[in-house]
């Protein structure tokens, strides 16, 4: 489904006619390292706690629209109050609602590609212009000066930290300066922040800036570190008036009772996830060492540092390497070759040690053969 049929192009709102639906390009494979999910087993006892919570959840009643019990648990974890947080059907719904609330016709989103493609997609759904300030083409670092120079002319901004797919963290002094420079809201998308330090993201998050910068909103999700992508649970942390805006426009029952119950059990068990997250981070470093060793041996492989649960690698014929990984090894990774600025780049999610051994061995073999 690359584009709409001619008939649909005529019938949808004119500004939607050119929209290209998101294609995750998913194929069932033995090892799936394509979507930055957590491939580790659920920590001992947590699945049982989730199952018990689901079994005890009545299905005949509508959900609590604001998920107050879950918000209280999230607030306790993050050291804020219920009034500082709002949940959504995945981080994606909150990203859409952010554009819906604060973007719109005549407004401009400040975007720093290469980054999460959903930002520009949701901006287009909400008729929001996008002002791209590109990262350095070689290092993928943010062009901080250019972002700050563009910010006064933009209505809202999104910075991803750690960034997907480049893996780097946005410095806090830069985020603070951006909040000062942008007349509207600034979102820091911290979908991967738990992997960025050994305190489950507490040392990396920009949350501490909210008190001084009331236009700042932090996005989180249970899809990555918590291995709960299927529950579709994301949340934002911001000043109460910002949360009121998110609450006012959201679809009231978008987070169903089962998702609320499962998410509450996950967040209550957060300490049990810390060792898994620590192991992913150490496996990520091992994987980067292995990729750098391939480069040192003369293989055409480039890899960037990452604070998330994936690594970005560049190698010639990346699209072909990815297809062969899928077809000959049944290993799925994500191809970014088509994306501007990411020619010949693949994103490999960090999996279990065994999955990582397999993908590294297969990747090295294929890169050699493609030389």
Which residues are at the interface with ligand PLP (CB under 6 A)?
A: 36, 90-92, 116, 160, 164, 189, 191, 221, 223-224, 229, 234
**Smaller CB separation from ligand PLP, 6 or 24:** 24
**Smaller CB separation from ligand PLP, 349 or 356:** 349
**Smaller CB separation from ligand PLP, 36 or 124:** 36
Smallest distance, ligand PLP to C-beta of residue 232, A: 7
**Smaller CB separation from ligand PLP, 102 or 116:** 116
Crossing angle for the helix pair 90-102 and 118-125, to the nearest 10 degrees: 50
Provide the 8-state DSSP code for 127.
T
Crossing angle for the helix pair 353-370 and 270-296, to the nearest 10 degrees: 20
Euclidean distance between the first and the last CA atom of the chain, given in angstroms as a whole number:
33
Q: How far apart are CA 60 and CA 92, in angstroms?
A: 27
Q: Among positive and negative, which fits the CA dihedral 186, 192, 195, 198?
A: positive
**Smaller CB separation from ligand PLP, 49 or 158:** 158
Smallest distance, ligand PLP to C-beta of residue 119, A: 8
Smallest distance, ligand PLP to C-beta of residue 192, A: 7
Q: Which of 271, 188, 229, 219 is nearest to 36 (CA)?
A: 229
In sequence order, what are the residues at sequence separation of 6 or more whose Cβ sits closer than 8 angstroms to the Cβ of residue 103? 109, 123, 126, 127, 128, 155, 156
**Smaller CB separation from ligand PLP, 43 or 114:** 114
Bridge-based pairing of strands 216-221 and 31-32 is: unpaired
Smallest distance, ligand PLP to C-beta of residue 169, A: 13
The CB-side HSE value for 238 (13 A sphere, CA atoms) comes to 28
Q: Among positive and negative, which fits the CA dihedral 288, 334, 339, 344?
A: positive
Smallest distance, ligand PLP to C-beta of residue 7, A: 31
Smallest distance, ligand PLP to C-beta of residue 92, A: 4
In sequence order, what are the residues at sequence separation of 6 or more whose Cβ sits closer than 8 angstroms to the Cβ of residue 331? 29, 30, 31, 33, 325, 358, 359, 362
Q: How far apart are CA 333 and CA 24, in angstroms?
A: 11
How many CB atoms are closer than 10 A to CB 149? Answer: 12
Quick check: 362 and 325 in contact, CB under 8 A?
Answer: yes
**Could you tell me the two tokens for 19?**
């929209």
Smallest distance, ligand PLP to C-beta of residue 8, A: 25
**Smaller CB separation from ligand PLP, 73 or 92:** 92
Smallest distance, ligand PLP to C-beta of residue 123, A: 14
**Smaller CB separation from ligand PLP, 116 or 246:** 116
**Smaller CB separation from ligand PLP, 43 or 227:** 227
Smallest distance, ligand PLP to C-beta of residue 5, A: 28
Q: Which of 172, 227, 240 is nearest to 194 (CA)?
A: 227
**CA angle, corner 208, sides to 202 and 214, nearest 5?**
145
CA 224 to chain centre: 8
Smallest distance, ligand PLP to C-beta of residue 228, A: 9
**Smaller CB separation from ligand PLP, 116 or 329:** 116
């Amino acid at each position: 489904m690359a584009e709409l049929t001619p008939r649909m192009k005529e019938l949808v709102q004119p500004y939607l006619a050119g929209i290209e639906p998101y294609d995750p390009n998913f194929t069932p494979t033995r090892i799936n390292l394509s979507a930055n999910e957590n491939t580790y087993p659920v920590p001992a006892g947590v699945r049982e706690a989730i199952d018990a919570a689901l079994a005890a959840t009545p299905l005949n009643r509508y959900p609590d629209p604001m998920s107050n019990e879950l918000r209280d648990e999230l607030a306790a974890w993050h050291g804020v109050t219920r009034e500082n947080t709002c949940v959504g059907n995945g981080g994606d719904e909150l990203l859409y609602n952010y554009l819906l609330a604060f973007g719109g016709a005549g407004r401009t989103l400040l975007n720093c590609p290469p980054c999460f493609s959903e930002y520009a997609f949701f901006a287009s759904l909400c008729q929001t212009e996008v002002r791209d300030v590109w990262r350095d083409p070689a290092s993928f670092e943010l062009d901080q000066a250019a972002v700050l120079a563009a910010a006064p002319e933009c209505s809202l901004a999104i910075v991803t930290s750690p960034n997907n797919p480049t893996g780097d963290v946005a410095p806090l002094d830069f985020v603070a300066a951006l909040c000062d420079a942008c007349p509207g809201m600034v979102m820091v998308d911290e979908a991967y922040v738990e992997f960025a330090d050994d305190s489950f993201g507490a040392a990396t998050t920009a949350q501490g800036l909210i008190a001084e910068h009331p236009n700042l909103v932090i996005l989180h999700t249970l899809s990555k570190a918590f291995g709960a992508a299927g529950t579709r649970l994301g949340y934002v942390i911001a000043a109460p008036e910002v949360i009121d805006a998110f609450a006012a426009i959201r679809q009231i029952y978008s987070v169903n009772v089962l998702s609320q119950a499962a998410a509450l059990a996950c967040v209550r068990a957060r300490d049990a996830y810390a060792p898994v997250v620590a192991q992913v981070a150490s496996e990520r470093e091992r994987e980067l060492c292995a990729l750098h060793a391939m480069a040192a041996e003369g293989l055409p492989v480039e890899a960037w540092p990452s604070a998330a649960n994936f690594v970005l690698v560049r190698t010639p014929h990346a699209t072909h390497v990815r297809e062969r990984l899928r077809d000959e090894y049944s290993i799925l990774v994500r191809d970014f070759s088509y994306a501007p600025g990411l020619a010949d780049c693949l994103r490999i999610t960090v999996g279990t040690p065994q999955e990582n051994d397999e993908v590294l061995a297969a990747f090295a073999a294929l890169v050699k053969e493609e030389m």
